[in-house]
Structure 1
Amino acid sequence: MKKKMVRFVVLSLVTVMVAAGCSGTLGRGIAPDAAPTKNVIMIIGDGMGPEQVGLLLSYARQAPRTVIKNRKTAFDRLMDDGGVMGLSMTYPSGVLVTDSAASGTQLATGQFAGSEMIGADKDGNPVETILEKTIQTGKSTGLVSDTRLTHATPAAFAAHQPHRSLENEIAVDMLNAGPDVMLSGGLRYWIPKSANDKDSAVRKELEQMTQGSVKIKSKRKDERNLLKEAREKGYDLAFNRSQMEAAQGKVLGLFAYSAMPDGIKVTHSLNSPERTIPTLKEMSAKALELLSKNDKGFFLMIEAGMIDWAAHYNDTGLMLHEMMRLNETVDYVLDWAENRDDTLVIVTADHTTGGFGISYNASDLPQGMTLPGSLFQGREFKPGYNFGNPEVLDKIYSQQLSYGDIFYGKFDSLPKEQQTPAMLAEIVNAYTEFEISEDQAARVLATEENPFFVDGHSYLGTNVVPKMGPTGSFFVYQTDDNRQNLLAREVAADQMVVWNSGTHTATPVLVFAKGAPEAMAPFGDVLHHTQLSRYAIEAITNR
Structure 2
Amino acid sequence: MKKTVKKALSVAAISAMAIGAFAGTSFNGNSAEAGSTYNPKGKAKNVIFMIPDGYSASYATNYRWFKGEESAMDSILVGMHRTYSANSKVTDSAAAGTAMATGVKTNNGMISTSPDGEELKTILETVEEKGKATGLVATSTITHATPAVFASHVPTRADEAGIAPQLIENGVDVILGGGKRYFPDALLTEAKQDGYNVVSDKSALASSVGKSDKLIGLFASDALAPELDRDETNEPSLAEMTQSALDVLKKDKDGFFLMVEGSQIDWAGHDNDAAWAMKDSEAFEKAVEKALAFAKKDKNTLVVIAGDHDTGGMSVGNANVEVLRNITATGDFMASKLDANRSNVKNVVKQYTGLDVTDAEAAKIQSAKDAGIAINQLVSERARVGWATTDHTGVDIPVYAFGPGADLFRGLLENTDFPELMAEAMKLKYGKQK
- Calculate the TM-score normalised by the size of structure 1: 0.69
Letter in 1 for 2:316: I
Partner of 2:79: 86
- The CA deviation at 1:324 is 0.5
Which secondary structure does the structure 2 equivalent of 1:338 belong to? helix
Contact 2:343 2:366 in 1 (8 A): no
Partner of 2:345: 424
Match of 1:529 among 415, 419, 422: 415
Which secondary structure does the structure 2 equivalent of 1:300 belong to? strand
- The CA deviation at 1:402 is 0.7
Q: Does 1:508 align with 2:377?
A: no
Partner of 1:226: 187
Could you say if the C-alpha distance between residues 286 and 419 of structure 1 is closer, same or farther in structure 2, counting changes exceeding 3 Å?
Answer: same
Could you say if the C-alpha distance between residues 487 and 7 of structure 1 is closer, same or farther in structure 2, counting changes exceeding 3 Å?
Answer: closer
Partner of 1:264: 228
Which runs of no fewer than 5 residues in structure 2 stay unpaired? 1-18, 28-39, 430-434
Could you say if the C-alpha distance between residues 326 and 244 of structure 1 is closer, same or farther in structure 2, counting changes exceeding 3 Å?
Answer: same
Partner of 2:159: 166
Partner of 2:367: 446
Could you say if the C-alpha distance between residues 542 and 55 of structure 1 is closer, same or farther in structure 2, counting changes exceeding 3 Å?
Answer: same
Match of 1:99 among 87, 92, 115: 92
Q: Does 1:130 align with 2:126?
A: no
Q: 5 Å matches for 1:312-331?
A: 312-331=270-289
- The CA deviation at 1:441 is 2.9
Partner of 2:36: none
Measure, in 2, the Cα distance between the counterparts of 1:239 and 1:48. 28
Q: 5 Å matches for 1:32-111?
A: 34-61=41-68, 71-76=69-74, 79=75, 83-111=76-104
| Deviation sequence 1:169-194 (CA, Å, 0-9, x none) | 011211211101001111011126xx
Contact 2:99 2:416 in 1 (8 A): yes
Contact 2:273 2:380 in 1 (8 A): no
Partner of 1:436: 357
Partner of 1:140: 133
Which secondary structure does the structure 2 equivalent of 1:147 belong to? strand
- The CA deviation at 1:132 is 0.7
Partner of 1:180: 173
| Deviation sequence 1:308-357 (CA, Å, 0-9, x none) | 11111011111111010011111111111115431110011011000111
The count of corresponding residues between Structure 1 and Structure 2 is 396
- The CA deviation at 1:74 is 0.9
Partner of 1:121: 114
- The CA deviation at 1:104 is 0.8
- Name the % identity: 31
Measure, in 1, the Cα distance between the counterparts of 2:246 and 2:413. 28
Measure, in 2, the Cα distance between the counterparts of 1:428 and 1:265. 16
Q: Does 1:280 align with 2:263?
A: no
Measure, in 1, the Cα distance between the counterparts of 2:207 and 2:378. 47
Question: Higher mean Cα deviation, 330-339 or 505-514?
Answer: 330-339
Contact 1:134 1:540 in 2 (8 A): no
Which secondary structure does the structure 2 equivalent of 1:277 belong to? coil
- The CA deviation at 1:6 is 11
| Deviation sequence 1:218-265 (CA, Å, 0-9, x none) | xxxxxxx21112112221101012222333210111011111121112
| Deviation sequence 1:394-415 (CA, Å, 0-9, x none) | 321110111111112x12xxxx
Question: Higher mean Cα deviation, 529-538 or 505-514?
Answer: 529-538
Match of 2:200 among 239, 244, 251: 239
Match of 1:396 among 324, 327, 348: 324
Which secondary structure does the structure 2 equivalent of 1:497 belong to? coil
Contact 2:21 2:77 in 1 (8 A): no
Contact 1:93 1:112 in 2 (8 A): yes
Which secondary structure does the structure 2 equivalent of 1:347 belong to? strand
Measure, in 2, the Cα distance between the counterparts of 1:162 and 1:540. 30
Could you say if the C-alpha distance between residues 5 and 229 of structure 1 is closer, same or farther in structure 2, counting changes exceeding 3 Å?
Answer: closer
Match of 1:150 among 132, 135, 143: 143
- Calculate the TM-score normalised by the size of structure 2: 0.86
Contact 2:228 2:279 in 1 (8 A): yes
Contact 2:273 2:377 in 1 (8 A): no
Measure, in 1, the Cα distance between the counterparts of 2:298 and 2:244. 19
Could you say if the C-alpha distance between residues 9 and 306 of structure 1 is closer, same or farther in structure 2, counting changes exceeding 3 Å?
Answer: closer
Which secondary structure does the structure 2 equivalent of 1:358 belong to? coil
Contact 2:322 2:383 in 1 (8 A): no
| Deviation sequence 1:461-503 (CA, Å, 0-9, x none) | xxxxxxxxxxxxxxxxxxxxx3322222334332211111001
Q: 5 Å matches for 1:454-533?
A: 482-516=370-404, 519-533=405-419
Letter in 2 for 1:249: D
Letter in 1 for 2:181: R
Measure, in 2, the Cα distance between the counterparts of 1:405 and 1:508. 32
Contact 1:37 1:540 in 2 (8 A): yes
Measure, in 2, the Cα distance between the counterparts of 1:493 and 1:143. 36
Contact 2:274 2:379 in 1 (8 A): no
Match of 1:253 among 209, 217, 225: 217
Measure, in 2, the Cα distance between the counterparts of 1:5 and 1:395. 24
Could you say if the C-alpha distance between residues 397 and 128 of structure 1 is closer, same or farther in structure 2, counting changes exceeding 3 Å?
Answer: same
| Deviation sequence 1:339-384 (CA, Å, 0-9, x none) | 543111001101100011122xxxxxxxxxxxxxxxxxxxxxxxxx
Partner of 1:384: none
| Deviation sequence 1:94-127 (CA, Å, 0-9, x none) | 3100111111111111111111001112322110
Which runs of no fewer than 5 residues in structure 1 stay unpaired? 13-32, 62-70, 193-224, 270-274, 360-386, 412-417, 449-481
Measure, in 2, the Cα distance between the counterparts of 1:188 and 1:504. 27
Rg bigger for which structure? 1
Match of 1:295 among 242, 250, 253: 253
Could you say if the C-alpha distance between residues 6 and 329 of structure 1 is closer, same or farther in structure 2, counting changes exceeding 3 Å?
Answer: closer
